[in-house]
Every structure is written in C-alpha cells, then in structure tokens.
A and B are shown apart, each in its own frame.
Chain A
Amino acid sequence: MKTEFTKRQLRNDNIQLANDIFRRCVHCGLCTATCSSYVVVGDERDSPRGRIYMIKDMLESGTVPDKTLTTHMDRCLSCFSCMTTCPSGVDYMHLSDLAREEIETHGPRSFYDRMIRAMLSSTLPYPGRFNVMLLLGRLARPLQPLLAIVGLKQMAAMLEMLPARRKKSPEFKGGGTARPKGQQHKRVLLMTGCVQQVVRPSINDASIRLMARQGIEVIVPEKSGCCGALDLHMGKVEKAGVHARRNIQAFKELEEQMPLDGIIINASGCGTTVKDYGHLFGSNKSLRSKKIKAEDAVKFSETVFDISEFLINYNFGTAQLWSDLKVAVHIPCSMMHGQKITDHPQTLLRNAGFTVLPIDEAHICCGSAGVYNVLQPEIATSLGQRKADHISRAKPDIVATANLGCLTQIDHHSSVPVVHFIELLDWAYGGPCPDGLENLKDRVDHLDQD
C-alpha cells in the first residue's frame, strides 16, 4: 500500500517499522475472512485490514488514537489468524503491539476502563495477589447479575469466569528441581506461569512428572513468573519488560551454572510472547538494562520450546492405558498462528493411544485470548459458544488444548470436560487421572506392564 510519511516521521524507529509493514499490505482483504472478530461482528473496522488502514491513517496524520481506533483495536483478539492467511506476510502482530502501546499512552480511555486494566495488570501476574482476588471474587459472586445490569460488563464477566471451587494445591510448589531416576538425558527450565499456578496447578505437575519420567531434569526457578503477555496485550510495554527481565535473569543464572537444553513452556499464549522477547528488547531500548541486553533476550527466545515441540522427539514407549476415549483437540491460536505448531499435540495423543478428532473452524479463536473474555465479554461469549458448537458436533469424550486461557473459556461454554493435553499424556504414561475426567475412569484399563 502507498504510505504518506514525511522523511522526518520516518526517522522514528517505530514509524519506520510500521511503514515497512504497511508497504507489504496490498489491501486484498483475504485476512477479513479468517479474522475471529470479523466473523462475529462483520464490520471492516473489526478486521485486520480495517485496523491496519486506521493505524496507518493515525500514524500518517501524526494524531493520537481516537475512540474509533481504540474500540476496534480493543476488539482484536490477537489470535493472529490473519497472519496465517496473509499471503503477503504482513506483520500484523508487531503493528498491533505498536498501536496498543500508542493507545495505552495517548488513547482516550474512560476511568472505569483504565481501572479494570490496572486491576488485571496488578493482580493476575502475581499468584499471591491473584489468590486473594479469587477469595474476594467468590464472596462477591452473588453481585454478578447486579453488576451486569448496571453496565459493569467487564466486572461481571470477571466474576463469572472465576473457578467455582478451590483447586487442589500443586504437588510441586514454588521453585525446585525434579531430578529423574536413572540416566539423565536433558536439563530444562520449566516456566510455570502465573495464573496457571493458581487456577490449574495440575498442568505444571503433569508436565514435571512426564518430563522427569523421560529422564529430563526439570528446574523451576524461584524467580520464575508471569511472561508479560498480559501487560503487553494491554499496551503496557514497560510493565511487560519487568516480567521479561526477571525471566531472562533467572535463565541467565541457571545457564551460567550449566547449559540448559531448553526453556519449556506449557501455556502457548505465553509461548508466543517469550519467543518474541528478542524482538521486544530489540525494538524497545528502554527495556534493556546493564544486566539484560538485547542479545540476552534473543538467546532466551531461541531457547524456548513449547512442551509439545520438545516432547515430539521423544519415544514414550507403550502407553499404560487402554481406552476408546475420543479427544477433540483445540489448538490454541497462539500455538497455531503465533508459533505455527499445528499438529504436535494430536500426534503425541495419538501415540499415547487416544482417538483424536478434529474440530471444525479450527483457525478461529475460542474467545479467551488472555483477558479478552473479561474486557470484551460479548464477542468472547459468541466465539465461546461458536467453538462449543463445533466441539459438540465432533462428539468427543474430552477436549484437550494447550493453553490455560482456552481451557477455562471452553470449560465455561462447553459441557465436554476440558484438560491440557499434557495431563492426558501424563495419565497415559502412568500419572493420575486428570481433574474433571473422573467419570471416564471406567472407560480405561491399565495395562499391566510388570
């Protein structure tokens, strides 16, 4: 597309980056068809092409984001389905990051909107605070319909999404090392995330057991925590940087003791972000420090693997379960579009003896998208129902996914039990029956290997 920046504007690194992105776009419109918000809303402004065009207009005219741009950027799920579709290779992800930062600093947000965002940003990434919020949330739950009536949709959505009961506490808590029995093959750092530790700790437990059983030493650093994706998607780049620096620091310290074979991530939403630390620190000078340089971030990103990518090369031997369980696999957008991993979880599950079913319209988001289901409850709900409909048409016994957000969202909209695929793998290779699948225990026989 033609752009109309002045030479002076182009001296700004961000404008230069945006200009390069715009010049690739030919405005063909193919992206509209696979955009998760456009399929629901049906308005050019809620499509990638429309957003790109509006961002271009704002940057060219040198104005601050207006209400229209803010509304429609807020409605973008960052599923990046458009990037899989785009034949021209338009880097919508980094363009939307730029726009979000611009909106966060100069955009027209109401007090209520700012408050909700500040609240999410200052609780979710911190397991301690989040636990307190959960407790308060459960107390406030009866207020939910009232909040919805007075128009505080986001508050209502937040309460609705809270887990109804307290989860079992994690088997492996805080920092620590799982040293496998017998011969040790590999040494990895496991990022245990933030919300996941609290809402479904069994995902991390299953990951640790599964890897240790394979002779992989698993280290969870004391300093490990949120990856920063939450803040980044709300345009809070500096705060995201704080989280990223902490993770990179933890990695560096471990690396200095002994080289690591990988940083393992079992939440694909976080995976997309940590794989992009290199770009984040490369394009934001302010994030770098004496201790954490751009090349440290690049090194970190290059060492990250989604747990499915890491395990796909392992031979797990014979599964210990005999079952006819049918598993519909929902590949999260962050995995499919963000990391271009489309079938590792299915392959791993098939190898473990499960019957894997595809879900129609797999490229469309389930509506979770980080905190999207709190901030944009209407669109998130219609996407959640749409996904649940496709799932029920596949007639599965179980839905497996690879990201906590999707797990929670699908669980909310679908009657089929939902788990992380790692929990199923762990079950098949000797771990406990995953939370929520207790009713399916009868359908499974344990092979006696001894």
Chain B
Amino acid sequence: MGLFSTLHDNSTSNLPRSALAEFQQVLQPNQIILDEMGRRAYETDAFTAYKVMPLAVLLPSSTQEVADITAIAHRFDIPIIPRGAGTSLAGGAIPIETAIVLCLSRMNKILDINTTNRSAKVQAGVTNLAISDAVSDQGFFYAPDPSSQLACTIAGNIAMNSGGAHCLKYGVTTHNLMGVTLVTSEGEILEFGGDYLDPAGYDFLSLIVGSEGGLGIVTEATVMLRPKAEGARPLLLGFETHEEAGDCVAAIIGDGITPVAIEFMDRPAIKVCEDFAQAGYPLDVEALLLIEVEGAPLEIDESLQKIIRTASQFNPVHKRLAKSDEEAAAIWLGRKSAFGAIGRISEYLCMDGVIPLSKLSSVLAKINEICASHKLDVANIFHAGDGNMHPLILYDANKPGIIEIVEKCGAEILELCVLAGGCITGEHGVGLEKRDLMPLQFNEMDLVNQMRIKQLFDPKWLLNPDKVFPIEISKVFQEEGSLASLRDET
C-alpha cells in the first residue's frame, strides 16, 4: 500500500484517506480534527520556539478508543504524538509532520477513590490538581505538585516523571505511582502494577515513568494518596547574595532537617512574582528562599526554629513567617505562577538542570556569567531543596536569530550542570528541547541501549519518535523500524 498517496479532499491534511476512514469507524466526528486552523492549535505546547502541524488530532475518550487508534496508526505506519494538556516546557507534545496527535484531554474522569488503600484510579487526562481536589475533603492529597499542576495531566506527569516544589519530602511521580494501563504501539492494552505497593517480577512501572510517551500511551493510572499534614507554614528568608542563599540551603539539608519544600528565587524573579501575587516578597534582596515545613503545630515550631538557627549563619536580611492561611496561599501563588508571570516582562526559555546541592552557589554564579556572556538576562526560580534548577533565560522572541543564541546559552548551562555532577533534566523531560544534549550525559553505548528498550516496546518507532534521542543516533533505529514495516507488508 502506498503511504500518503491519497489526499483527503475536504481538508488540507495529508492523512491518507483510507486511514481516515478507519479512524472514522472508531471515533465520532467531533473526536477528529482535520481542518488547518484546528490542527494549528495543536502545533506546539508551552515550548513555543518550535511548531509543526500534525496530520490530524484525535480526541479519544476511553482506553479502548486509544487502543483502536494506535492499532490503526500501526497498520498505516503513522507516528503518534501523545498529548495531555500541552504544558510541556521541553516540547514533549510538539508534533512531526507525518504524525497524528493523540490528545487525552477528554479522558479526565476520576474512576475510583480508595482511602483504605490510599490510592486513586484515574483516567490519565485528569489534571494533577483535580486528584488532590477530589480527595481533599477526606484528608488526603496527591503529592507531586509541578507548578503547572492546575492544568497539566497525570499522563504528562508520568511521561516526564514530574516533580514539583513538594517533592523534596514526598518524591517525584515515580515514587507516587502504583499502577498504569498502557496501550502499546500495536494497540494492545497492558496493565502494570495495581493498587498495591510492590508488584511481582521486574519493576516495569519504573521503566514506563519518564519514558516520554515513547514506550506506550498511558491511559489510566493508579496513584498514591497521602494524608494531608496537620498544618504547614512557609517561611521567607531573603539574602544579599546568591552564595549565601545557596549555602544556606545546603546547610539546612545537611543538618538533617527535611522541609517539604525549599524554593529559590533571585531578584528579577522576586519582582515579577510579587507583581502578580502581592505576596509581600521583599524587593530589596538578591535571593529569596521559600521554605515550607509541615506537621503538628509543635513540630512546625521546632523545625522552623532549627531552620532559622541554621540560616542565621548566612546573614539573612529578611525573615518572615506566614501568619495566616491566606498569607501562606499568597506566598505559594507567587511561586506557582512564576513562569507565567515572567510572561509579563519577557519571553523565556526555561532550563531544567539538576546539580548536587553542594555546588549550588558556584553553579548559580556561573549561570549568571554564561548568560552575561551572551548578553541575555536570566531569572532563577527553582526547587533548591533537591538541586533542581530552573534558570529562565529571558529574550525578545521577535528579534531575528535570537532563539539560536538562547539555545546555545541554555546548552552551556546544562553542560555546566553535567560537569558539576548533575544532569540535564530534573522534571520537564528531554523532549525536543534537549535531545541533542543527551550525549553530554550519556555515551553512545548508553544511548543505544536505551533505544533498544524503546525498540522492544515500539519496533516500528512510531510513538513520539523524534524525542529524547539525538536524531543522528536514533535514525538507525527509525530506519530499522521502517524496514520492519516493509517486511510486514510483504
């Protein structure tokens, strides 16, 4: 059968008519987007530096429909780009020209809440925050809390192994996931894990978490619920230098205190967040730490005292404890909205490197040097407690040629993270953005071995094919995948 030889008459889409006819067999008309303007709305995610229109966008509403779609796409050798809410900062949901987008936004039901097992079963298109909202009355919450938790989906969280401010205490997605339903590239429906802690046999679940939609499409998830702490209180500490703030974080962790979160903001970030949230952040400091502790009132007081004692060695010039729930909410609103609020002043490229805590202050200084050498401004907002850095490189998107400079600057920052003993992605994933930087982290053999795993799950290399691995290296596998397709046909 000739690929892409027939055009669909009623639209500009190059989706083969015969494939469309099969999609129409399993989906309602309002689940298929073919028109040009509609496909354009799906051409990018929150990483807007790149955009590519897909052949079509499909909006399934059940695992079975996802399986039907993948089976058809597999037969026609059409690549699939899975998408949740499209909030990826690494371009994880950006299509390629020959692909269809499979968007899980309609699979947003909470299927079961089991507080005895402390688990919730959800469709994967449900938003992160919706889970916590649904169990809040019963005194539970879902712990990983990426800043986009209002909008981002569990499917995306699993794909990228997302973290968030509170993962210092509770871990990232992989530590909070108990089971998934996965649709393979052939359209087979598989279950991994369940609503128990330790499944028998190999731990495939951990393999699926962070696989960026390359091993299969997660359609349902069983997540761990945790009891809400009795109370929580954020503390703000302001410093005159980044070094002092960085050393303070290392000292707090080194002391054996585990706050729920330690967040770092530098001066440009503080200003923007304050403008948005009016949280009462100090505007005259170079670095601000937002430290949250939780527990029973006595426990909170004791931890805070310890933290303040430790911090006092680093000359904090501003110290403020949230006195009410409203104050605490405003303090967090500023932090959680930081990336969006940066949009008030500039476009940005958000980096996502990880470094060992001990290197925090020296790496921060070097980041500022690197950005200055490219004549770019940078705002630093990140989860300092676990060394997950998010330098935001600010730039004017309408300036010709600027994006190349920004990307070069970003690559230098990530290289710095690797040299410091860290890695190039904390929680956003590799996606499109960092695929060519993977060799900084892994040698060719490492990469080839990872790709072999993908090949086992996805022999034709159809699921989110151009992500994660450098194209030059993955090309061999992709071509082998096409050969496999040819063999199928003959």
Residues of chain A at the chain B interface (Cβ within 8 Å): 1-3, 23-34, 38, 42-45, 49-50, 53-54, 57-58, 66-69, 85-90
* Cβ distance A269 to chain B, nearest Cβ, rounded Å: 26
Q: Which among A24, A42, A53 has the highest number of chain B CB atoms within 10 Å?
A: A42
CA distance A2 to B342 in the complex (A): 15
The complex places the Cα of A57 from the Cα of B41 at a distance, in Å, of 9
Q: Is there an interface contact between A57 and B398, defined as CB atoms closer than 8 Å?
A: no
Contact at B46–A43, with CB atoms within 8 Å? no
Q: Are B41 and A44 in contact (CB under 8 A)?
A: yes
Q: CB-nearest residue of chain A relative to B341?
A: A87
Q: How far is the CB of B113 from chain A (nearest CB, A)?
A: 16
Known: A30-B148, A58-B37, A87-B338. 15 other contacts (CB 8 A): A1-B397, A2-B397, A26-B342, A29-B86, A29-B87, A29-B152, A30-B337, A30-B340, A33-B85, A42-B125, A45-B33, A45-B38, A87-B341, A87-B343, A90-B343
Q: Which of A27, A50, A54 has the most CB of B within 10 A?
A: A27
Complex-state Cα separation, A445 to B197, whole angstroms: 58
Can you list 8 A-B pairs with a CB-CB distance of less than 8 A? A1-B397, A24-B343, A24-B344, A33-B129, A34-B150, A38-B105, A42-B108, A53-B41
Indicate whether A43 sits within 8 Å of B105 (C-beta atoms), given known contacts A2-B347, A54-B37.
yes
> Which of A31, A42, A50, A88 contacts B344 (CB under 8 A)?
A88
Q: Looking at the complex, which one of B42, B57, B129, B339 makes contact with A28 (CB distance below 8 Å)?
A: B339
Q: A26-B340, A30-B340 are in contact. Are A1 and B347 (CB under 8 A)?
A: yes
Q: Are B48 and A50 in contact (CB under 8 A)?
A: no
Interface residue B103 (Cβ < 8 Å from any Cβ of A): yes
Contact digits for B33-62, partner A, Cβ 8 Å, 1 yes 0 no? 101111011101110100000000101000
B interface majority secondary structure: loop
Q: Contact residues of B with A, CB < 8 Å?
A: 33, 35-38, 40-42, 44-46, 48, 57, 59, 85-87, 103, 105-106, 108, 125, 127, 129, 148, 150-152, 276, 337-344, 347-348, 397-398
Tell whether A88 pairs with B341 under 8 Å between CB atoms, given A2-B398, A42-B108: yes
**Pairwise interchain contact A28-B40, C-beta atoms closer than 8 A:** no
Residue of A nearest to B43 (CB): A53
- With beta carbons under 8 angstroms apart, the residue of B38, B150, B152, B342 that contacts A68 is B38
* A28→B37 contact, CB < 8 A: no
Known: A1-B397, A42-B106. A27 touches B46 (CB 8 A): yes
Which residues of chain B are near A25, meaning CB under 8 Å?
343
A54–B36 alpha-carbon span in the complex (Å): 10
| Nearest CB in chain B to that of A58: its residue | B37
Is B40's CB under 8 angstroms from A57's CB? yes
How far apart are the CA atoms of A45 and B148 in the complex, in Å?
Answer: 20
A3, A49, A87: which has the most chain B beta carbons within 10 Å?
A87
Q: Which of A27, A42, A53 contacts B105 (CB 8 A)?
A: A42
- Nearest chain-A residue to B151 (Cβ)? A33
Q: What residue of chain B has the Cβ atom nearest to residue A87's Cβ?
A: B340
A44 to B152 alpha-carbon distance, docked (Å):
13
